[in-house]
Amino acid sequence: MKKKPVLLIVTILAAAGVFLFLFLSGVFFMPVTGRVSDKAYREERKSFYRREEYGVWERGTLLELPAQDINMGLDIRSYDISALDLTDQEAVLSGVTYDSATVFPDRLPNGFDPERIMEIGKNPGLGIRTLHEKGITGKGISIAIVDQALNPDHTEYADQLISYELLHCCDTAAQMHGSAVTSIAVGKNCGVAPDAKVYYIASTFGRYGSNGMKMNLQYMADGIDRILEINTLLPEDRKIRVISISRGFTSEKGADAVRQAIERAKEAGVFVITTTPEDHYGFTLMGLGKELTADPDDMASYGPGHFWSDYFYNGETADTAHMLLVPMDARTYASWNSTDGYEFAASGGLSWSVPWMAGLFALCLQVDEDLTPEYFLRKAFETGTVKTVEYQGGTYELGTIINPPALIEALSQQKN
């Protein structure tokens, strides 16, 4: 009987040790929620609940190329690979992901110029920069982004970032995804709408536990509702008109709450763009692929995005009549670990298509402040392009590919 207290103490200490180990090893993260004051919004002042930490990503030296990653391809970001001979590795490098800190060798395939590829990838493509030259930059338009924790200081978007809140956010530092989507939407050099203002909510759509992440999209719904609440504090000419969320939903926990939140947003005149817009807006959003150095403004450069091209050529892509395609692959975006660095990814995902589309809607709102999502989509399909793609002896119809200059022209004529 006297041994029981000792055993109890040992058991408690062991359990505490296991919990501490799990906590320190990153299994458990305490979610944080924090808001900007109503007064800051009413006074249109920049305000951040907190500023996320970021710093140099030191990955060291590689003496051989790593295995391909399912999401990032040949991921050599922040590695020193200067000792390698990559002269005959053109095929492998066609799927590369690298950043400004990657140290390349001198021995590279003919035509593979990392600096040139990075610069080409900054171009949003399909005539967007031509619109910028005409002054159509998203000026006067506000968008919101709900994503992972954001580096607030990158020169691509620091001036455009108005507010930063947390809503059930488990991140403890800036993440790659946040900087990428923000710069694709509003980046000064690589964004679709470089003069649009951004209201940002960092959120985690679930909880971490010993078995990994358990999704709960109620937090996604809460993010939409919080943006609608922020809108009630903003003057009429600064109200948020589009929300970019690079996540989709079907039957996950909380999916019905997201559907209801999107309906509330529609009633409030706010366009919510996710990776699954079919139910609420009647179209499928997909991404275009292209080779590393192909001209981003040339429609002929594009085919189906890398991640879904096999499905397309096998005839497994559903509902092509309602598919709207925007640039996705071979894109450069702001890095998360510095104030002026960039990353390039040969292969993208729908996460990049969503902020691209949000940026385009901002450009269109600058031309027609009364524009609705429904009319925007109608004109996007009417002015878009369906192109014939040849592949391994077969021909395929790819479309509708968005045509920003033609879309803006149609909206301008309608407005006048």
Q: 164 with 49: CB under 8 angstroms? A: yes
Please indicate whether residue 317 or residue 55 has the higher confidence score (pLDDT): 55
* Contact criterion met (CB below 8 Å) for 275 and 248: yes
**Cβ-based neighbour number of residue 335 at 10 Å:** 27
Alpha-carbon radius of gyration of the chain: 23
What is the pLDDT at residue 210? Answer: 78
Q: Per-residue pLDDT for 57 more than 80? A: yes
Give the Cα separation of 377 and 360 in Å (integer). 11
Lowest mean pLDDT among 21-35, 248-262, 322-336: 21-35
Which among 95, 124, 55 has a CA at the least distance from the CA of 335?
55
What is the mean pLDDT of the segment spanning 251-275?
97
Query: In the structure encoding, which two tokens stand for residue 144, read together?
Result: 């919101």
Q: Please report, for residues 131, 244, 295, 402, the alpha-carbon distance to residue 356 in angstroms, rounded to integers and kept in the order given.
A: 14, 9, 17, 11
Rounded alpha-carbon distances, angstroms, from residue 50 to 175, 236, 295: 15, 27, 40
Q: Is 287 helix (H, G, I), strand (E, B) or coil?
A: strand
pLDDT band at 6 (very low <50, low <70, confident <90, very high): very low
**Residue 19 clears pLDDT 50, i.e. is over it:** no
**β-bridge pairing 161-169 and 32-34:** antiparallel
Task: Please determine, for residue 146, whether its predicted confidence score (pLDDT) is greater than 90.
Answer: yes
Residue 175, exposed/middle/buried by CB under 10 A (0-12, 13-18, 19+)?
buried
Q: Residue 377: which residues within 8 A CB-CB, separation 6 or more? A: 281, 282, 283, 324
> Residue 123 has which token pair?
């171009």
- 74 backbone dihedrals φ, ψ, rounded to 5°: -80, 95
Residue-wise pLDDT tens digits, 308-366: 999 999 988 766 779 999 999 999 999 999 999 999 999 999 999 999 999 999 999 99
